[in-house]
Amino acid sequence: MTVRPLDPRLLRYAVSARWFLLSGAALGVATTACILAFAWLLTVCITGAIDGRPLAELLPQVGLLVAVAGIRAALVYGQDLLAARGAARVKSELRLGVLDAVRRLGPGWLAGRSSARVATLLGRGMDALDDYFSKYLPQLILAVIVTPVVVVVILLQDWVSAIFIVVTLPLIPIFMILIGLATQVVQRRQWAVLGDLSSGFVDTLGGLATLKIFGRERRQIDRMRSITRDYRTQTMRVLRVSFLSSFALELAASLSVALVAVSVGLRLVDGSMALSAGLFVLLLAPEAFLPLRQVGANFHAAAEGVAAAEDAFDILDAVKTTQADAPVPAGERVATSGPLRLTDVSVDYGRGAVLAPISAEFAPGRLTVIAGPSGAGKSSLLGAVLGFAPHTGTVELGGMPVRSSTEERPWLAWTGQRPSLVLGSVADNVALGSDPVDAVRVRHALNLAAAPEISPDLSVGVAGAGLSGGQAQRVGIARAIYRTLDRRCPVLLLDEPSSALDHDTEARLLDGLRALADGGTAVVIVSHRAAVIGRADAVVRVEPMILAAAS
């Protein structure tokens, strides 16, 4: 895994990260001063006492020592406070930035991914940045500030010790990289085995009901034991190598301190050095290594956070390659009524057309069914009308071309295959986007959608929780009907509206849709159910591009 110490995109996309780095650097400078002052005061006190100065004479220095410790504690506290706040702000900033990007990329882009995955990335995924900000970045800042300053101070005191340290310091990143590479090699060799073994655990838990049906559940206990045992031996094989990196870190740091101590000691014996210089160097030497050791120790935590942030950066990068919708020219006339006409409309997501060009007209007062086998691109065709799918050909309403954009189409009421209900009451969902809510109309829309038994006050959880599939589907249809009535939309578009309904309910729904068509709306239904096609005034057939092999 190649992790740059600091991804420049973090600074580009999260302005608060720059602010965090600047304040972190200020704290780092103050911390360096405290480290030097503490070591120097301590040296003065110890050598002073050994030289025979009484406690009373040294008390001011001891007092200063406590004061410096207090300041240091305040800086440590400030560093943590800053890290926690910085992480919270950067997370919020990235989250809202990605939401903006997703909005600009549009539902067509989101359909190619899982919206739940993006939600997880923006919710829990971002929390991986916490460790990056609290454990890794502050240490990185200190490594950049404290280490060089301490080395220079040591150099001024005793150049021999400085050479020991300067020679050992670069060994740390070199060892870390070498051992990291070795770990990768071992890991790659074990990867498949480890993947199988850890999925074995998940699989056994997930398939427990199936195993019970076949009377195999008791045998899983032994299997679990052996899977876990193999998992341990394989993992330990990887760990034996990867723990070497911390071994090298510790060894380099402690050995160089030991070398400094021994060489200082030997030069003190022959009197070529003063105790104060020796002690001062000894106290400072570990400080030169500490931030680097911490950076190394928290490298993995950081890598995880960076990986989460990178997913967010990728979405932010993607938006740059898509151009924004052209602004609406002032005074452009937009039709709000008339027939919907498609001419040679085909959909292409950039990997070739997914739909044979379609031409069709959907006239007011008529109920048209778009039929065709699954996978023929019926839903993509609706996407083109909605503006979510990039298309060729023209879409016209009342003779005026419809602009291709992901903005709301005021003349269109639509519901997709998934009802996509939002948190709130049934009435909130039915009257989505309308304010104020017309309670009578909500009831009327539910009745037309064959849902007379659903109360508008019923609450709906995330992703339609609390409603059955059939209920959610009808609430979604009622939502489109409400909009048709409320905004006088000339076109009502329904994608597989009866897929979760039984025959009786389907028939009642079709009665309701027929009543809407009689009121002058162009009702367009995507369906291949015989009962729906039987009630249509016209049927548009969509054929698949390529004759796929039967599954």
Ranges within 77-106 binding another protein (CB under 8 A): 77-81, 83-85, 87-89, 91-92, 95-96, 99, 102-103, 106
Name the segment binding another protein (CB under 8 A); options: 17-25, 37-45, 144-152, 517-525. 37-45
List, in order, residues 6 or more apart from 388 with CB less than 8 Å away: 106, 107, 108, 111, 406
List, in order, residues 6 or more apart from 379 with CB less than 8 Å away: 416, 417, 495, 526
* Residue 42 binds another protein, judged by CB under 8 A: yes
* Residue 519 binds another protein, judged by CB under 8 A: no
Residues from 289 through 348 that contact another protein (CB under 8 A): none
Among 36, 101, 118, 477, interactor with another protein by CB under 8 A: 118
* Residue 459 binds another protein, judged by CB under 8 A: no
* Between 183 and 220, CB nearer to another protein: 220
Among 107, 338, 393, 398, interactor with another protein by CB under 8 A: 107
**Phi then psi dihedrals of residue 526, to 5 deg:** -90, 120
**Phi then psi dihedrals of residue 436, to 5 deg:** -80, 170
Name the segment binding another protein (CB under 8 A); options: 161-169, 252-260, 337-345, 514-522. 252-260
Residues from 353 through 382 that contact another protein (CB under 8 A): 373-375
Residues from 382 through 441 that contact another protein (CB under 8 A): 386, 388, 406-410, 412, 414-416, 420-423, 432-433
Token match 């019970």: residue?
212
* Residue 15 binds another protein, judged by CB under 8 A: no
Which pair of structure tokens corresponds to residue 9?
């995109």
Name the segment binding another protein (CB under 8 A); options: 39-47, 162-170, 171-179, 344-352. 39-47
DSSP reduced 3-state for 483: helix
Which pair of structure tokens corresponds to residue 224?
């679990």
Closest listed residue to residue 430, CA positions, set 492, 481, 498: 481
* Between 341 and 378, CB nearer to another protein: 378
Least Å from the CB of residue 109 to another protein: 10
Residue 24 near residue 15 (C-beta atoms within 8 A): no
Least Å from the CB of residue 513 to another protein: 18
Full DSSP string of 134-172: IIIHHHHHHHHHHHHHHHHHHHHH-HHHHHHHHHHTTHH
Which pair of structure tokens corresponds to residue 475?
């609430």
**Cis peptide leading into residue 390 (ω within 30°):** no
Least Å from the CB of residue 4 to another protein: 26
β-strand pairing of 538-541 with 367-371: parallel
* Between 210 and 359, CB nearer to another protein: 210
Least Å from the CB of residue 132 to another protein: 15
Among 46, 155, 182, 437, interactor with another protein by CB under 8 A: 46
* Residue 528 binds another protein, judged by CB under 8 A: yes
Token match 């405290």: residue?
34
**Phi then psi dihedrals of residue 9, to 5 deg:** -65, -25
* Between 368 and 471, CB nearer to another protein: 471
* Residue 271 binds another protein, judged by CB under 8 A: yes
Among 8, 52, 329, 350, interactor with another protein by CB under 8 A: 52
Indicate the DSSP class of residue 133. I
Among 401, 452, 469, 520, interactor with another protein by CB under 8 A: 469
Full DSSP string of 207-247: THHHHHHTT-TTHHHHHHHHHHHHHHHHHHHHHHHHHHHHH
* Residue 115 binds another protein, judged by CB under 8 A: yes
- Binding to another protein by CB under 8 A, coded x per residue (else -) over 122-151, reads xxx---------x-----------------
- Binding to another protein by CB under 8 A, coded x per residue (else -) over 180-219, reads ----------------x--x-xxxxxxxxxxxxxxxxxx-
Least Å from the CB of residue 198 to another protein: 8
Query: Using CB atoms within 10 A of its CB, is residue 26 exposed (0-12), middle (13-18) or buried (19+)?
Result: middle
Name the segment binding another protein (CB under 8 A); options: 142-150, 151-159, 254-262, 510-518. 254-262
Sign of CA dihedral 188, 190, 194, 196: positive
